[in-house]
């Protein structure tokens, strides 16, 4: 009998790739969005799998609604990818960010505790929880959390809540501490997608200048399509645990910018303006990862390096814009 999976927040980048992976493994896949009837599910359509997914309207703030959906679907595995996903937006909407991430996770855990069902839960955590680290530091699962944004505070709360429910109520629940991961499905509100899109547009002779904030930030960038496999692997282990998922290499945003423009034979300095007004109230200068535990325990390792990721993103965006004319 096929396993059943429920992806909460299936409309995002990770939700679409995860759905594709689970379908390839023979799962029956269900997904949720706050308003499924009016959600475009662009990612699922781009991957050509929308018709293979059963979708439901669900809110992590509504206990009865969430209970009804889980009872109806009867999933073997639940992947919680829902909640506000922008660090920058969290500074202007701190309460909404905390409620959608931290409070929503507690609500979900309470439903699972109430049902006492044999279901496994993956919770999406974030590298932002580590906060400011010394350049060259590679954070593992043992590093302390020092969140520096409302988004990171909410993710850290959800992480510790998930761990508490695992220990106190013996639930099979775990968290993936994912570092930055991009793909062609990444929304343009994220700076990396904004850069890729602008580089291609300018190369196509569109007169425009790109305005960006702080370029002196370092991140570990990977490929989202590979990271969802790590999510799945976490729920296949005999015992639940938490894992850092990353490439292990950090690069600056300026290098990301430079490489994208170089990919289309342009010099970024001719087309980009740094606007201090776009700087965040606080932006982590350096983020580095040590994914050794995932490699050892999950037998998972990132295959797409930074050098391979940039051409992949630019090539896809070039094709997309060419098709649009």
d(Cα 283, Cα 256) in Å, to the nearest integer? 17
Sort 273 into a burial class: Cβ within 10 Å, 0-12 / 13-18 / 19+: exposed
In this structure, of 53-57, 91-95, 99-103, 291-295, the range with the lowest mean pLDDT score is 91-95
Asked whether residue 298 is domain-assigned, the answer is: no
| Residue 217: band (very low, low, confident or very high) from pLDDT cuts 50, 70, 90 | very high
Summarize pLDDT for 265-289 with one digit per residue, the tens.
999 999 999 998 888 777 889 999 9
Phi and psi angles of residue 171, each rounded to the nearest 5 degrees, phi first? -85, 150
Answer yes or no: do 215 and 227 share one domain: no
Summarize pLDDT for 286-312 with one digit per residue, the tens.
999 999 999 999 999 999 999 999 999
At residue 187, the pLDDT reads: 87
Answer yes or no: do 61 and 139 share one domain: yes
Q: What is the largest CA-CA distance in the chain?
A: 60
Bridge-based pairing state of the strands 218-219 and 251-252: antiparallel
Indicate whether 83 pLDDT > 90: no
Assess whether 128 carries a catalytic annotation.
yes
d(Cα 297, Cα 308) in Å, to the nearest integer? 25
Asked whether residue 299 is domain-assigned, the answer is: no
Token pair 């609604």 in the structure block, residue: 65
Answer yes or no: do 203 and 68 share one domain: no
- Name the more confident of 163 and 86: 163
Which listed residue (128, 226, 258, 317) is catalytic?
128
Asked whether residue 97 is domain-assigned, the answer is: yes
Indicate whether 213 pLDDT > 90: yes
At residue 324, the pLDDT reads: 85
At residue 234, the pLDDT reads: 98
Indicate whether 67 pLDDT > 90: yes
d(Cα 242, Cα 101) in Å, to the nearest integer? 18
Indicate whether 325 pLDDT > 80: no
Answer yes or no: do 194 and 235 share one domain: no
Asked whether residue 279 is domain-assigned, the answer is: yes
Parent domain of 283? 187-219+250-287+305-324
d(Cα 325, Cα 313) in Å, to the nearest integer? 19
As beta bridge partners, residue 245 has 178
If you average pLDDT over residues 138-165, what whole number do you get?
A: 96
Summarize pLDDT for 227-270 with one digit per residue, the tens.
999 999 999 999 999 999 999 999 999 999 999 999 999 999 99
CA R_g for the chain: 20
At residue 40, the pLDDT reads: 87
As beta bridge partners, residue 174 has 122
Which listed residue (151, 165, 223, 243) is catalytic?
151
Which listed residue (126, 175, 183, 250) is catalytic?
126
Contacts of 92 (CB under 8 A, 6+ apart): none
Yes or no: say if 244 and 145 are a contact pair by the CB < 8 Å rule. no
Phi and psi angles of residue 239, each rounded to the nearest 5 degrees, phi first? -125, 145
If you average pLDDT over residues 190-215, what whole number do you get?
A: 93
At residue 90, the pLDDT reads: 86
Instruction: Assign residue 191 the CATH number of its domain.
Output: 3.90.25.10
Answer yes or no: do 201 and 80 share one domain: no
Total domain count for the chain?
2
What six digits make up the tokens of 107?
């609500």
- For 35, how many CA atoms within 13 A lie in the half-sphere containing its CB? 3
Answer yes or no: do 159 and 278 share one domain: no
Asked whether residue 11 is domain-assigned, the answer is: yes
């Amino acid at each position: 009998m096929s396993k059943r999976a429920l992806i909460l927040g299936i409309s995002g980048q990770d939700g679409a790739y995860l759905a594709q992976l689970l379908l390839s493994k023979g799962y029956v896949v269900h997904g949720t969005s706050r308003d499924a009837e009016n959600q475009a599910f662009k990612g699922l359509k781009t991957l050509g799998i929308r018709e293979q997914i059963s979708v439901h309207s669900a809110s992590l703030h509504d206990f009865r609604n969430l209970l009804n959906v889980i009872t109806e679907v009867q999933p073997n595995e639940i992947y919680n990818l829902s909640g506000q996903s922008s660090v920058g937006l969290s500074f202007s909407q701190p309460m909404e960010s905390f409620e959608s991430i931290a409070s929503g996770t507690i609500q979900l855990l309470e439903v699972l505790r109430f049902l006492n069902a044999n279901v496994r839960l993956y919770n999406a955590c974030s590298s932002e929880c580590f906060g400011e680290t010394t350049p060259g530091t590679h954070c593992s699962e043992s590093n302390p959390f020092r969140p520096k944004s409302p988004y990171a505070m909410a993710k850290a709360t959800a992480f510790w809540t998930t761990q508490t429910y695992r220990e106190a109520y013996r639930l099979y629940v775990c968290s993936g501490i994912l570092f930055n991961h991009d793909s062609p499905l990444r929304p343009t509100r994220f700076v990396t997608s904004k850069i890729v899109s602008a580089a291609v547009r300018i190369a196509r002779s569109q007169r425009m200048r790109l305005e960006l904030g702080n370029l002196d930030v370092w991140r570990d960038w990977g490929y989202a399509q590979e990271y969802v496999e790590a999510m799945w692997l976490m729920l296949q282990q005999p015992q639940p645990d938490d894992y850092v998922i990353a490439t292990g290499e950090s690069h600056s945003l300026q290098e990301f910018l430079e490489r994208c423009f170089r990919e289309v034979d342009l010099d970024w300095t001719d087309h980009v303006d740094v606007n201090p007004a776009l700087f965040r109230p606080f932006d982590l200068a350096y983020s580095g990862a040590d994914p050794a535990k995932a490699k050892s325990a999950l037998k998972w390792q990132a295959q797409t390096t930074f050098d391979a990721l940039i051409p992949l993103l630019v090539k896809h965006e070039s094709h997309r814009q060419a098709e649009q004319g």
